[in-house]
Amino acid sequence: MKTELRYAAHPDDVKNWDTARLRKEFLIENIFLKDEICLVYSMYDRLIVGGAMPVNKQLTLESPDELKSEQFLSRREMGIINIGGEAVIHASGKVYKIGFKEALYLGKGSHDVTFNSVYYDNPAKLYINSAPAHQAYPSKKVTLADAEVVVIGTPESSNRRTVNKLLINSVIETCQLQMGMTELQTGCVWNTMPVHTHNRRMEAYFYFEVPEKQAICHFMGDPDETRHIWMKNEQAVLSPSWSIHSAAGTSNYTFIWGMAGENLDYGDQDIRQPDTLK
């Protein structure tokens, strides 16, 4: 299991960073490696972002040195969304079968967690977010049929999209972690527009179903001092609470959003209209 530590940054400092530094601090390029669990421990609300890709063997969720805990989830909760082949996840003696675009919530205290693929020629790709937890809520599988679904945006503004709210407080009890998946319609490329910030929580975006040779331009930074990061398929990006988080693709795509912080109100957003950005 590979774990990388990322520190938090002040927005005034980020204004002076070049492209290489922005990518080093915020972009997560390698989410899925064959027969590995790859994680980034971020100091933004201590969110952990990463992925597990079991191909030829079972993968065990170990507790890295950074957590100083017996089990990975001794003081944490975890959300998992599968973007690959069918997975079998064992946790606390229970077995969960998780299909494509299905989610699993693991509550605080879950132990002996392992990841397997059902078909090794079509391996599972398990995207992971984990946040500190103060209370143990029941673990639960959540499918798209269970999700709160909202269709927003318009074709005229190139942002018609379906928001699937999977692991949020209107669907399942969590401490602070929230996750969902947004699918853009054909011909639409903008997500999260108009943009917003929310000092009550941070986010991470994971982009997938990006066609071959296409790309995502992710916009971040202070609304009056914006920056951008070019991204490829199956990569993630960290978004501090003070930063906008939006993107345009050279094709339509799907992305998973994950949030952690003190506020579970999905609508808690400080919106900036497009004509006010700099």
| pLDDT tens string 146-187 | 999 999 999 999 999 999 999 999 999 999 999 999 999 999
Any idea which residue has 């490329």 for tokens?
A: 189
- Give the pLDDT band of residue 264 (cuts 50, 70, 90): confident
Of 172, 251, 150, which Cα lies nearest the Cα of 207?
251
State how far the alpha carbon of 75 is from the alpha carbons of 46, 63, 71, 134, 137, in Å: 12, 11, 8, 7, 12
> How many structural domains comprise the chain?
1
Mean pLDDT of the chain: 96
pLDDT value at residue 223: 94
- Give the pLDDT band of residue 25 (cuts 50, 70, 90): very high
With beta carbons less than 8 A apart as the criterion, state whether 131 and 77 touch: yes
With beta carbons less than 8 A apart as the criterion, state whether 74 and 63 touch: yes
Q: Cα–Cα distance between 54 and 49 in angstroms, integer?
A: 17
- Give the pLDDT band of residue 244 (cuts 50, 70, 90): very high
Q: Domain of 148: which CATH number?
A: 2.60.120.10
Does the structure show a pLDDT above 90 at 214?
A: yes
pLDDT value at residue 199: 87
> How many helices and strands in the chain, by DSSP H and E?
2, 24
Reply yes or no: is the peptide bond before residue 54 cis, omega within 30 of 0: no
pTM of the model: 0.96
- Of 124-128, 136-140, 165-169, 198-202, the poorest mean pLDDT is in 198-202
State how far the alpha carbon of 120 is from the alpha carbons of 20, 54, 197, in Å: 36, 8, 41
pLDDT value at residue 266: 82
Does the structure show a pLDDT above 90 at 102?
A: yes
With beta carbons less than 8 A apart as the criterion, state whether 191 and 167 touch: no
- Give the pLDDT band of residue 267 (cuts 50, 70, 90): confident
Domain that residue 62 falls in: 2-276
Q: Which tokens is 259 given?
A: 């949030």
State how far the alpha carbon of 242 is from the alpha carbons of 91, 143, 195, 256, 276, in Å: 35, 31, 12, 20, 16
Q: What percent of the chain has pLDDT over 90?
A: 92
Q: Cα–Cα distance between 14 and 10 in angstroms, integer?
A: 7
Q: Cα–Cα distance between 246 and 146 in angstroms, integer?
A: 26
| pLDDT tens string 47-59 | 999 999 999 999 9
Residues in the chain: 278
- Give the pLDDT band of residue 268 (cuts 50, 70, 90): confident
Q: Cα–Cα distance between 96 and 122 in angstroms, integer?
A: 18
DSSP letter assigned to residue 12: H
pLDDT value at residue 269: 84
pLDDT value at residue 270: 86
With beta carbons less than 8 A apart as the criterion, state whether 188 and 153 touch: yes
